[in-house]
Amino acid sequence: MINQLNIGGLIAKVPIVQGGMGVGVSLSGLASAVANEGGIGVISAVAIGMLETDYKKNFKQANLQALRREIQTAKKKTEGIIGVNIMMAVSDFDNLLLASIDEKVDIVFVGAGLPFGEIFEIFKTTSTKFVPIVSSARAAKIIFQHWAEKFGRIPDGVVIEGPLAGGHLGFKKAMVVSPELNLTSLTNIVKETVEILKPFEEQFNIEIPIIAGGGVYTGADIYEVLQAGAKGVQMGTRFVTTIECDVDVTFKEVFLESKVEDITIIDSPVGLPGRVISNDFVKAIQNGEQKPVKCPWKCLKNCDFNKVQFCVAEALFNAAKGDFTKGFAFSGAKGFKATKILSVHKTIEQLLEEYYITKSKNEILLKLAI
């Protein structure tokens, strides 16, 4: 049997964390469906207020309203594990974090920045679990060391995102422009992180689950990263082409129609490279064309909306609604592999079947080698 994933006492029968995808891609529909299958469903909090009709009037209030509603809706649909993904880079991070905890979400996943600051003291008294998202073993060590010294505790796990991930990437552009479509980089980071976290496991007498993501698309991929020492996987792109994914069907069809050469890299206003599926909008911004930006809310801490080339939140939300003339879809490096729209149940069933086939083949090869 495939191992269960234990995050601070929360047990996922299937060691799959559905990656948080914004804007408006992974909401209560997808998250609850994954949770119902024994995985961990994740709602993306980034610019979630754009779901509200009046979001331009009070963007931060709209974010809180939409986030609370999506968490509550997900909890009505499942008794499984529900998480929320929040970017440190957003200007209302503290409000979104506190709202998630107030709604008693099971886990908060935090990326796009180091989780330092007094706000994180709250994890000393809440039952909500905390899992940072990083791109290197070094970053994981810095976070765990800081938490151990500052809070007298450590995060409940860590997500390692490799260079094949979709969306914003924690790597230099040169490292992600033309990547090899294998998981060597990811598994190497996982192995390094396993060793780096051992002293913290000994100090706090707990096992720290490493969750590996970025290029994990098949059951064979799951087998490979678990063999490297990960306890679970994070998968976003594979769940886009599911019936329950919370986007317009046009968004899903873009993945079905994509080819390997369509997966490309852009420079995001966030200040990081981003992996997307190319279209005319993407080609225009890659060629330096300025897209009008009217920003009434400044959703990102470091975004100078008077200078940016385009608004990434609007581009992503337009795409989620099916309008690709004014937007694009983030995608992992293997997004072109999608061939049909399936239910979450069928998708996870396929992943587990692929995993067991790979496991059996490797066990046979090992016996033959002996």
Spatial contact of 86 and 70, defined as CB atoms under 8 Å apart: no
Q: Which residues, including other chains, have CB under 8 Å from residue 364's CB and lie 6 or more apart?
A: none
Please tell me the distance from the alpha carbon of residue 151 to that of residue 18, in angstroms, as a whole number. 28
Q: Which residues, including other chains, have CB under 8 Å from residue 57's CB and lie 6 or more apart?
A: none
Spatial contact of 43 and 26, defined as CB atoms under 8 Å apart: yes
pLDDT, position 169: 86
Which of the pair, 299 or 39, is modelled with greater confidence?
39
Q: How does residue 291 score in pLDDT terms, banded at 50, 70 and 90?
A: low
Spatial contact of 342 and 350, defined as CB atoms under 8 Å apart: yes
Share of the chain above pLDDT 90, in %: 76
Spatial contact of 282 and 328, defined as CB atoms under 8 Å apart: yes
Classified by CATH at the fold level, domain 5-250+336-369 comes out as: TIM Barrel (3.20.20)
Share of the chain above pLDDT 70, in %: 95
Please tell me the distance from the alpha carbon of residue 174 to that of residue 186, in angstroms, as a whole number. 16
Q: How does residue 369 score in pLDDT terms, banded at 50, 70 and 90?
A: confident
Spatial contact of 179 and 171, defined as CB atoms under 8 Å apart: no
Q: How does residue 222 score in pLDDT terms, banded at 50, 70 and 90?
A: very high
| 3-class DSSP string for the chain | CCCCEEECCEEECCCEEECCCCCCCCCHHHHHHHHHCCCEEEEECCCHHHHCCCCCCCHHHHHHHHHHHHHHHHHHHCCCEEEEEEECCECCHHHHHHHHHHCCCCEEEEECCCCCCHHHHHHHCCCCEEEEEECCHHHHHHHHHHHHHHHCCCCCCEEEECCCCCEECCCCHHHHCCCCCCCHHHHHHHHHHHHHHHHHHHHHCCCCCEEEECCCCCHHHHHHHHHCCCCEEEECHHHHCECCCCCCHHHHHHHHHCCHHHEEEEECCCCCEEEEECCHHHHHHHCCCCCCCCCCCCCECCCCCCCCCCCHHHHHHHHHCCCCCCCCCECCCCHHHCCCCECHHHHHHHHHHHHHHHHHHHHHHHHHHC
pLDDT, position 19: 96
pLDDT, position 301: 60
Please provide the average confidence, as pLDDT, over all residues in the chain.
Answer: 92
pLDDT, position 83: 98
Q: Which residues, including other chains, have CB under 8 Å from residue 56's CB and lie 6 or more apart?
A: 296, 297
Q: Which residues, including other chains, have CB under 8 Å from residue 17's CB and lie 6 or more apart?
A: 5, 39, 40, 42, 83, 109, 159, 211, 213, 232, 233, 234, 235
> What are the structural domain ranges in the chain?
5-250+336-369
- Report pLDDT digits (tens) over 59-94: 889 999 999 999 999 999 999 999 999 998 888 899
Q: What phi and psi values does residue 88 have, to the nearest 5 degrees?
A: -60, -25
pLDDT, position 60: 87
- Report pLDDT digits (tens) over 94-133: 999 999 999 999 999 999 889 999 999 999 999 999 999 9
pLDDT at 139 over 90: yes
pLDDT, position 82: 98
Among 137-141, 179-183, 199-203, 288-292, which stretch is predicted with the lowest mean pLDDT?
288-292
Q: How does residue 297 score in pLDDT terms, banded at 50, 70 and 90?
A: low
- Global pTM value: 0.93
pLDDT at 181 over 90: no
Q: Which of 171, 190, 275 is nearest to 234 (CA)?
A: 190
Spatial contact of 355 and 219, defined as CB atoms under 8 Å apart: yes
pLDDT, position 265: 93
Q: Which of 130, 127, 32 is nearest to 81 (CA)?
A: 32
Please tell me the distance from the alpha carbon of residue 170 to that of residue 176, in angstroms, as a whole number. 10
